[in-house]
């Protein structure tokens, strides 16, 4: 099939970016979206032009690196998948496709379609862990039994891949879904209890410091999240935050 | 043999590690503050090592090429992690895990290292649960287990199909805690381009900031390479696109021996190649073999009809199908080790029974599991005479709970529903058992340079059993390196900070700059991917699942020619002093082009079949691998002498004191 692409090009963080038009022919329906971009890049290189830079690594939906806004939607038209899993069979011959990087103040553009998501790392560094000594000798794993449904709910929250689609989908560029997933995972597990209050306060503080917006409960994040992270996590985080603030 | 000292402790196997820990030197906590360690790689091996070494008090700097440590390739591991906990009471023990691993690796791993791995495996699970890793649980709240290929016990712990992700996030959390404390400095989007030696010791690295293009110097008292495997050499593989051999290869060029480069694991259950544009192969977790049955049609006509779309697989009756693994290996059936399963699939496809368009796929079928689970569920929920459809529906739900995300992934990629029609699978390059040679302390032949996780060679022999790479990465990082590196660093408490303005750093930086300039000055005809794909084709066709003398010799020649062409004609747009993904790729492919030749040379030298290395000249009448313990019971460790063709072979003889070498049989 033949596609008309409009792609965001930006030299570096300080440069002014712009949309550039490309026409690409010979796209097959069982190609992945990123393989389609690979082919475009091969064409550009052979013409002596600079290829379009985009972030990707595992190409199987788990590392959270790929991050394209396609026709206005993070990770493109399909639900519950990342861009690297999106296949061209979701498009038709002659389609016009607009490809942009995540848009959020806290995610500055590095080049073309690549953004800087290190703010997410800093949120995790502010408390997204359990403070257990790694060189020590903890108790036997089965000495901490955890009811199956609780373990499963914690696992559901833990599947967040840190891609940032929730932020890109949100009109306020809020990082609530991402942050709440980690808070929830640990709030649900007995191992996470001791530091629960401190954790939620620190992580929320860092989230605000990084310049993410507020959550106004529009739910766009949940719709675009490739891992189905649920809004319930935001509710749980709000409860945790409230009770932590009451305790002081 | 002289220069290869494995430093295995003496004494009974079960006491070696304890004895060694008691005897090696320690660094006083106050002195650790004055010692810097560089860790390249933040996967399971590097992440866990970084967290633990920082916890102990060392100053740690970590490097990874991704934008966050959490995205290391370990994140992709699906199936699980082994540990000899014997929670299931099915007869597991440290010895049995040790035994299975050595046997599974076709007796080409180092006994003492493997025993230590089995010994510390139980701590790994305790550590990870304490960190909040949400492993699967049974209804009673205790940890659940499943089994993997090559073993007869259930010792694999898992977190849905995302075990690697959860373990890595555990290590990443532990790292984050130390970053917050100021004990780890994390350099993301940085690539190590060279190792710096001062007085023969590893004292730092040259790295490139991948955002600004700046070349940086970083010094330390020791350097740990935890940079993963080199399977991307084949271009098409299950590895992440950025996975590379650069750090290990640079260390090799500086004097670290490269061990067993030809030992490559081909994983039996991957989604088959669909076309020329393909960039990447996707693994379907081996855990699927617990319930899926593997088959091809018995009659060639049926295979042809299926390939042409004239016949549907579900139309063939039980009798018309060849469940070749169950037929050939009744004791292990669909759960034979990976090398055996992969070769058996290739054998059937080569014989003309392949089932996809290109004839390079076999079926992985869940129909009987769905019906079996469905019947069980119907019985336990007290249903009387349920019809087949009801049973199937009940069964599908149970299969969905176990493997749902994998089935979904398959459907997204292939556009076929695996609940209704069998999956198609084919073997793909998945893991490299070879890597930098290390001694018992995980030190390479360069003093002060260590290698951990997939980047080293020691624990898996010629074939890796499932769920043991995660185990090894974490064992190395959490429980081995933190001790053994102290032994070396205890000599460095008075050294003080290592300056980066020394002639050695100047020279290494100059090398790196010259190399980049040379890369960018090619006359520019072909893209980097053009060369990578060509190399991958040579590797797959001539150094892939089976090898022979003639083709290996051809491969050596072809790779050398391709490398020459690459350096003359590669085209890299853009500039070196800014973000430039083509330049990043070019650096990696340049190293693959050298490693590929050494790989073929190693395979040519090893005139036997073992594990993932199958030389067609050496097989039993039934087509099984024919090992030669008399002449090849050694590790090949290659020393760099200027060109892959001149590399010098050193042999570490493998001594088996506690296991009797047997022919590996899974019949
Ligand atoms: C799809 C898939 C499924 C798997 N499933 C399982 C499983 O179920 N069980 C199991 O036990 N094993 C499994 N494995 C194997 C296992 O995941 C890997 O062997 C293991 O995770 C490797 O860990 P590592 O820490 O050694 O390296 P990696 O996780 O590969 O990490 C490498 C690190 O090095 C960094 N790096 C590399 N080169 C450079 C450089 N030049 N400069 C700077 N940084 C660099 C990278 O950024 C990264 O941080 C699977 C593998 C794949 C591909
Ligand atoms: S919550 Fe979902 S969308 Fe947001 S970072 Fe996590 S996986 Fe991505
Ligand atoms: S590239 Fe890893 S999730 Fe898309």
Q: Which of B71, B338, B606, B664 is catalytic?
A: B338
Interhelix angle for B163-180 vs B44-56, to 10°?
A: 30
Q: Which ligand is nearest to the CA of B187?
A: 1
Four-CA torsion A185, A190, A192, A195, nearest 10 degrees: 140
- Tokens in use for B380? 């336990």
Closest chain A residue to the Cα of B132, Cα to Cα: A191
- List the 31-50 stretch of B: residues with Cβ below 8 A of A: 48
Opening angle at CA B37, ends B32 and B42, nearest 5 = 125
Interhelix angle for B388-414 vs B367-380, to 10°?
A: 140
Contact B227, B248 (CB under 8 A): yes
Local confidence band at A248 (pLDDT 50, 70, 90 cut-offs): low
Buried b (16+ CB within 10 A) or exposed e, B311-343: bebeebeeeebbbbbeebbeebbbbbbbbbbbb
Please give the Cα distance from B219 to B242 (Å, whole number).
25
**Region B391-399 average pLDDT:** 95
- Tokens in use for B123? 């701590």
Which ipTM score applies to this complex? 0.98
Other beta carbons less than 10 A from residue A243's beta carbon? 12
**Is residue B317 pLDDT above 90, yes or no?**
yes
For residue B157, list its beta bridge partners.
Answer: B81
Other beta carbons less than 10 A from residue A18's beta carbon? 9
B571 inside 8 A of chain A by CB = yes
Contact B98, B154 (CB under 8 A): no
CB < 8 Å to B280, chain A: 59-60
B362-365 vs B258-259, strand pairing mode: unpaired
Q: Taking CB atoms and an 8 Å limit, are A134 and B48 in contact across chains?
A: yes
Q: Which burial class, exposed, middle or buried, applies to B372 when counting CB atoms under 10 A from its CB (0-12, 13-18, 19+)?
A: middle
Which residues, in sequence order, are CB contacts of B608 under 8 Å at separation 6+? Answer: B615, B618, B626, B627, B628, B631, B632
Q: Taking CB atoms and an 8 Å limit, are B75 and A189 in contact across chains?
A: no
Looking at B152-156, B187-191, B240-244, which range is the least confident one? B152-156
> Which of A57, A85, A146 lies nearest to residue B242, judging by beta carbons?
A57
Opening angle at CA A97, ends A92 and A98, nearest 5 = 165
CB < 8 Å to B583, chain A: none
Q: Which burial class, exposed, middle or buried, applies to A217 when counting CB atoms under 10 A from its CB (0-12, 13-18, 19+)?
A: exposed
Q: How far does the CA of residue B161 sit from the closest CA of chain A (Å)? A: 10
Closest chain A residue to the Cα of B57, Cα to Cα: A135
Concerning whether B563 is annotated as a catalytic residue, the answer is no
In tens, the pLDDT along A75-121 reads 999 999 999 999 999 999 999 999 999 999 999 999 999 999 999 99
Q: Which burial class, exposed, middle or buried, applies to B23 when counting CB atoms under 10 A from its CB (0-12, 13-18, 19+)?
A: exposed
pLDDT of residue B405: 80
pLDDT of residue B444: 98
- Tokens in use for A235? 């509710």
- Tokens in use for B376? 């069980």
In tens, the pLDDT along B267-289 reads 999 999 988 889 999 998 888 98
Q: B66 C-alpha to center of ligand 3: Å?
A: 11
The DSSP secondary-structure symbol of B87 reads T
Task: Count CA atoms within 13 Å of residue A80 on its CB side.
Answer: 7
pLDDT of residue B490: 95
Q: Which helix (H) or strand (E) holds B424?
A: strand B423-432
Please give the Cα distance from B305 to B312 (Å, whole number).
8
**Region A191-200 average pLDDT:** 96
Other beta carbons less than 10 A from residue A42's beta carbon? 16
In tens, the pLDDT along B435-476 reads 999 999 999 999 999 999 999 999 999 999 999 999 999 999
* 0.90 exceeded by pTM: yes
Four-CA torsion B506, B512, B518, B520, nearest 10 degrees: -120
Which residues, in sequence order, are CB contacts of B227 under 8 Å at separation 6+? Answer: B40, B41, B46, B192, B244, B245, B246, B247, B248, B455
Which residues, in sequence order, are CB contacts of B332 under 8 Å at separation 6+? Answer: B149, B150, B152, B325, B666
For residue B61, list its beta bridge partners.
Answer: B38, B185
In tens, the pLDDT along B568-581 reads 999 999 999 999 99
Local confidence band at B655 (pLDDT 50, 70, 90 cut-offs): very high
% of chain B beyond a pLDDT of 70: 100
Interhelix angle for A196-209 vs A118-125, to 10°?
A: 150
**Is residue A16 pLDDT above 50, yes or no?**
yes
pLDDT of residue B1: 39
Please give the Cα distance from B127 to A128 (Å, whole number).
17
Q: How far does the CA of residue B463 sit from the closest CA of chain A (Å)? A: 23
Q: Which ligand is nearest to the CA of A181?
A: 2
pLDDT of residue B663: 84
% of chain B beyond a pLDDT of 90: 91
DSSP codes of every residue in B443-469? B-SSTTEEE-GGGB-SSSTTSPPTT-H
Local confidence band at B616 (pLDDT 50, 70, 90 cut-offs): very high
Q: A159 C-alpha to center of ligand 3: Å?
A: 14
pLDDT of residue B2: 46
> Which of B55, B75, B280 lies nearest to residue A133, judging by beta carbons?
B55
CB < 8 Å to B68, chain A: 117-118, 120-121, 162
Buried b (16+ CB within 10 A) or exposed e, B193-202: bbbbbbeebb
Q: Kindly state the greatest CA–CA separation across chain A.
A: 64
> Which of A124, A135, A189 lies nearest to residue B482, judging by beta carbons?
A135
Please give the Cα distance from B292 to B422 (Å, whole number).
9
Contact B543, B606 (CB under 8 A): no
- Tokens in use for A179? 């942050």
Q: Taking CB atoms and an 8 Å limit, are B159 and A186 in contact across chains?
A: no
Closest chain A residue to the Cα of B73, Cα to Cα: A58
Which residue out of A12, A25, A58 would a mutagenesis test of the B interface target, given it has the greatest number of B Cβ atoms within 10 Å? A58
Closest chain A residue to the Cα of B525, Cα to Cα: A46
Task: Report the nearest-CA residue for atom 38 of ligand 1.
Answer: B227
Contact B159, B177 (CB under 8 A): no
pLDDT of residue A188: 97
pLDDT of residue B403: 86
DSSP codes of every residue in chain A? --EEEEEEE-SSTTSPPEEEEEEE----TTSBHHHHHHHHHHHHHHTTPPPPP---SSSSS-S----EEETTEET-SSSS--GGG-BGGGS-TT-EEEEEE---TTS-EEETTEE--HHHHHHHHTT-S----TTS-PPPGGGS---HHHHHHHHHHHT-----HHHHH-TT-B-HHHHHHHHHHHHHSGGGSTTHHHHHHHHHHHHHHTT-B------HHHHH-TT---THHHHHHHHHHHHHHHH-
- List the 466-495 stretch of B: residues with Cβ below 8 A of A: 478, 482
């Amino acid at each position: 099939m033949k596609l008309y692409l409009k792609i965001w090009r930006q030299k570096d963080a300080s440069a002014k970016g712009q949309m550039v038009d490309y026409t690409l022919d010979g796209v097959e329906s069982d190609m992945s979206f990123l393989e389609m971009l690979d082919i475009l890049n091969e064409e550009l290189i052979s013409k002596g032009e600079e290829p379009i830079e985009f972030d990707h690594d595992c190409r199987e939906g788990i590392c959270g690196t790929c991050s394209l806004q396609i026709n206005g939607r993070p990770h493109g038209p399909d639900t519950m998948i990342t861009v690297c899993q999106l296949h061209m069979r979701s498009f038709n011959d002659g389609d016009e496709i607009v490809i942009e990087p995540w848009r959020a103040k806290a995610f500055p553009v590095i080049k073309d379609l690549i953004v800087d998501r290190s703010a997410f790392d800093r949120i995790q560094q502010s408390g997204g862990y359990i403070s257990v000594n790694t060189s020590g000798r903890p108790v036997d794993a089965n000495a901490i039994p955890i009811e199956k449904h609780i373990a499963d709910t914690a696992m559901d929250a833990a599947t967040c891949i840190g891609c940032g689609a929730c932020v890109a989908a949100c009109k306020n560029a809020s990082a609530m879904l991402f942050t709440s997933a980690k808070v929830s995972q640990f709030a649900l597990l007995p191992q996470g209890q001791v530091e629960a209050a401190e954790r939620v306060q620190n992580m929320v503080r860092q989230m605000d410091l990084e310049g993410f917006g507020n959550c106004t409960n529009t739910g766009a994040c949940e719709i675009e999240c490739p891992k189905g992270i649920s809004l319930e996590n935001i509710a749980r985080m709000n409860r945790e935050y409230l009770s932590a603030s009451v305790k002081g | 043999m002289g220069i290869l000292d494995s430093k295995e402790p003496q004494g009974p196997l079960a006491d070696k590690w304890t004895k060694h820990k008691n005897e090696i030197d320690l660094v006083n906590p106050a002195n650790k503050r004055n010692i810097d360690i560089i860790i390249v790689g933040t996967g399971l091996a590097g992440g866990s090592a970084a967290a633990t070494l920082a916890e102990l008090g060392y100053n740690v700097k970590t490097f990874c090429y991704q934008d966050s440590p959490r995205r290391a390739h370990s994140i992709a591991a699906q199936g699980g992690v082994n540990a000899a906990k014997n929670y299931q009471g099915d007869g597991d023990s440290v010895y049995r895990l040790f035994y299975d691993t050595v046997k599974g690796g076709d007796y080409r791993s180092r006994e003492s290292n493997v025993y230590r791995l089995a010994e510390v495996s139980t701590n790994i699970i305790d550590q990870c649960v304490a960190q909040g890793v949400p492993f699967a649980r049974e209804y009673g709240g205790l940890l659940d287990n499943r089994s993997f290929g090559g073993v007869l016990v259930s010792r694999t712990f898992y977190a849905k199909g995302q075990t690697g992700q959860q373990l890595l996030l555990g290590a990443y959390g532990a790292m984050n805690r130390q970053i917050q404390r100021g004990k780890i400095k994390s350099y993301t989007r940085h690539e190590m381009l060279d190792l710096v030696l001062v007085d023969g010791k590893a004292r730092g690295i040259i790295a490139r900031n991948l955002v600004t293009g700046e070349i940086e110097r970083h010094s330390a008292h020791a350097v740990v390479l935890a940079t993963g495997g080199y399977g991307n050499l084949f271009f098409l593989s299950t590895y992440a696109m950025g996975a590379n051999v650069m750090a290990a290869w640079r260390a090799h060029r500086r004097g670290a021996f490269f061990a067993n480069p030809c030992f490559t694991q081909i994983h039996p259950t991957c989604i088959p190649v669909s076309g020329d544009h393909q960039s990447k192969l996707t693994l379907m977790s081996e855990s699927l073999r617990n319930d899926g049955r593997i088959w091809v049609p018995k009659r060639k006509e049926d295979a042809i009809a299926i390939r042409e779309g004239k016949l549907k697989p579900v139309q063939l009756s039980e009798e018309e199908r060849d469940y070749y693994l169950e037929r050939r290996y009744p004791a292990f059936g669909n759960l034979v080790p990976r090398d055996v399963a992969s070769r058996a699939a290739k054998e059937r496809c080569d014989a003309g029974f392949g089932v996809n368009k290109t004839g390079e796929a076999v079926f992985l079928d869940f129909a009987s599991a769905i019906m079996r689970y469905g019947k069980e569920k119907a019985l336990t929920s007290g249903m009387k005479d349920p019809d087949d459809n009801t049973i199937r529906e009940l069964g599908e739900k149970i299969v969905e709970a176990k493997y749902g995300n994998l089935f979904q992934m398959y459907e997204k990629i292939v556009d076929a529903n695996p609940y209704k029609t069998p999956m198609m699978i084919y073997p793909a390059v998945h893991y490299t058992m070879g890597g930098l040679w290390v001694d018992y302390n995980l030190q390479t032949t360069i003093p002060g340079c260590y290698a951990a996780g997939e980047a080293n060679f020691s624990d898996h022999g010629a074939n890796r059993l499932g769920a043991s790479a995660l185990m090894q990465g974490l064992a190395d990082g959490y429980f081995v390196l933190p001790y053994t590196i102290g032994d070396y660093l205890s000599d460095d408490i008075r050294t003080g900070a290592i300056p980066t303005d020394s002639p050695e750093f100047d020279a290494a930086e100059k090398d790196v700059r010259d190399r980049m300039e040379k890369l960018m000055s090619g006359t520019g005809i072909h893209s980097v991917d053009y060369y990578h794909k060509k190399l991958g084709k040579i590797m797959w066709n001539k150094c892939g699942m089976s090898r022979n003398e003639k083709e290996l010799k051809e491969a050596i020649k072809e790779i050398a020619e391709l490398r020459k062409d690459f350096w003359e004609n590669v085209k890299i747009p853009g500039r070196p002093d800014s973000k430039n993904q083509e330049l990043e790729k070019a650096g990696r492919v340049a190293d693959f082009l050298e490693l590929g030749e050494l790989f073929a040379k190693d395979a040519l030298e090893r005139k036997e079949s073992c594990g993932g290395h199958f030389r067609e000249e050496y097989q039993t009448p039934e087509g099984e691998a024919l090992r030669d313990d008399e002449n090849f019971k050694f590790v090949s460790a290659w020393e760099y002498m200027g060109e892959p063709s001149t590399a010098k072979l050193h042999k570490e003889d493998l001594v088996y004191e506690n296991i009797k070498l047997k022919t590996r049989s899974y019949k």
